[in-house]
A and B are shown apart, each in its own frame.
Chain A
Amino acid sequence: MSIENIKKEFPIFNSKVHNNDLIYLDSANSSQKPQSVIDRVNDFYTNEFSNTGRSVHFLAVAATNLYENTRSSVQRYINAKDKNEIVFTKGATEAINLVANTFGQKYLEEGDEILITELEHHSNYVPWHFLRQSKGIKIEFAEINDDGEITLESIEKKITSKTKLIAITHLSNVTGAVLPIKEITQLAHSKGIAVLIDGCQGAPHLKLDMQDIDCDFYVISCHKMYGPTGLGVLYAKKKWLEQLPPYQGGGGMINDVKKDSITYGDLPNKYEAGTMATAQVIAFDQSIKFLEKVGIESMIKHEQELIEYGQEILRKNNSVKLIGNPKNRAAVLSFTIEGVHPHDIATILDEDGVAIRAGHHCCQILHDKLGISASARASLGVYNTKEDLDQLNSSINNCKKIFNL
């Protein structure tokens, strides 16, 4: 699949926005879907629909096999040791809540510490805050440097004998900084600390190898990865999934149910209570196939060229200030324009068909630290081109003109 023609795989780009071509620069929020993923949802409901795992009839067996196929594809894509280390959830948010809830229940006591960073999305902070309230644990924040990065040293500084888990993002959805997660994991493990990686932004843009990273938990948001909404993945090392208690109770997650006792099912059923997002799981297989067809290496190369180009043109644009200057940046360009509020920028860009996001991007801690209430963010997907970034720049110029800058 040639990367130059990749936009053609995404039917949304046939749509017009205010009579203009769509320039979609909001993939960090959610990515667009290739035709193959859309078709798969439709095909499954049209020709193959059944619930999974419960019945012995033809359709149920076929749907179960398709569902489990995706699990194997995810295992292959992220290089997990065992397919049962892949748990489907309703989203990355639920995946983090699952870990916070079960890990918290079993291993955390008053005074224990969770170490996160100032870059974290609210979904990798609020679930730990619940534990702060219910169990009296403490939350420590590793601090960013002036370039909007988290270094190994900034993590090391905050580790104490009470630190039980380090929960950090792979790639910041605001500064675009790629964190040294392999080194952080090594450091954490040398001190007996478990590591959770929030891969919402990392998974769609970076190479994933669980054996290389060696983290204990890795969380994926499927809709940011050219897949359907309502679906997330929790990768967890088998030892954790075996030791941790179940998260939600219901059908499908049990082994034996009696009036006075219940035993739980084996992995991964133990963590997949109730009817799952069957069609989404089955369609997500097509997202992985799409990424494999594009090729991870060529996707990374393409997006890296774009991010370099985007930084170059925005740096040249007077009154545009890029947020962060990480040495290792991917997929995200957040900025402010002196004299124009980010919401006004977003409304004006939208008129040209340029979709960006404005606000705090669910990172209020980071924006407070930066001393701003909001920022504008252009984020990339595999379908973006240099022409898209040129249009971004020219719409920014239009915005400056409207505001007499």
Chain B
Amino acid sequence: MNIKELYQEIILEHGKNPRNLGKTENFNKDAMGKNPLCGDNVHVFLKLDKSKKVEDISFEGSGCAISMASASIMTDLIKGKEEAEVKEIVNDFLGMIKENPELKSKNLKEDEKTKLMCLSGVKQYPMRVKCATLSWHTLISAIDNTQEEINTERLD
């Protein structure tokens, strides 16, 4: 595997200029996550409307190109989706990073899938998988209102 398959242009670009960085105004759900081994941290802010649709989403945090790009791409894709759709997409993404060769979600358009698959390079770098998944686990924690900080060392 070539290192450039991990550091594709789209990842470098999102890593350098993350979308939706900052604190959403009037957010009604949020959660924090961290990777204690490397010090990466993320804080996800969600604004769900009355019909449980993601009206706005943003994140704050610091980390490597992979974790910043992953959070940036995630927030981009999730905006406008229903809560149930979001959960399904997160599961699909985590499944793909863990073992599935491709994304199966019906809630993602083809171009969205292509964008997400840019992160599939981390499968070859087991030490970096947690960088890619931290913000996704944190998003679920925000939706479920668990009030629990996500800690990558306590995940499967």
User: A residues touching B (Cβ–Cβ < 8 Å)?
Assistant: 339-344, 347-348, 351, 358-360, 364, 367, 373-374, 402-404
Contact = CB atoms under 8 A, between A and B. Distances in A.
Interface stretch (B62-70, B77-85, B87-95): B62-70
B3 A351 contact: yes
A374 B41 CA distance: 12
9 contacts: A340-B65, A341-B63, A341-B68, A342-B64, A343-B63, A344-B7, A344-B65, A347-B6, A367-B39
A358 B38 contact: yes
Nearest to B125: A347
Contacts of B16: 339
Contacts of A348: 3, 7
Given A344-B66, A347-B3, A348-B3, 8 more contacts: A343-B63, A347-B125, A367-B39, A374-B38, A402-B4, A402-B7, A402-B12, A404-B12
A123 B26 CA distance: 43
Nearest to B122: A347
B142 interface: no
A126 B89 CA distance: 41
B131 interface: yes
Contacts of A347: 3, 6, 125, 127-128
A347 B121 CA distance: 12
Contact of B39 (A344, A351, A360, A404): A360
Nearest to A404: B12
A402 B12 CA distance: 9
Contact of A343 (B4, B12, B41, B131): B131
Nearest to B131: A343
A385 B37 CA distance: 30
Contacts of B63: 341, 343
Contacts of A374: 38-39
Interface in B1-41: 3-4, 6-7, 12, 16, 37-41
A308 B32 CA distance: 43
A359 B37 contact: yes
Contacts of B125: 347
B64 A341 contact: yes
Q: Which 9 residue pairs spanning A and B have beta carbons closest together?
A: A341-B64, A343-B64, A373-B39, A351-B3, A344-B65, A344-B64, A359-B38, A374-B39, A402-B7
Nearest to A342: B64
Contacts of B128: 343, 347
A405 to B, nearest CB: 10
Contacts of B37: 359
B12 A403 contact: yes
B24 to A, nearest CB: 23
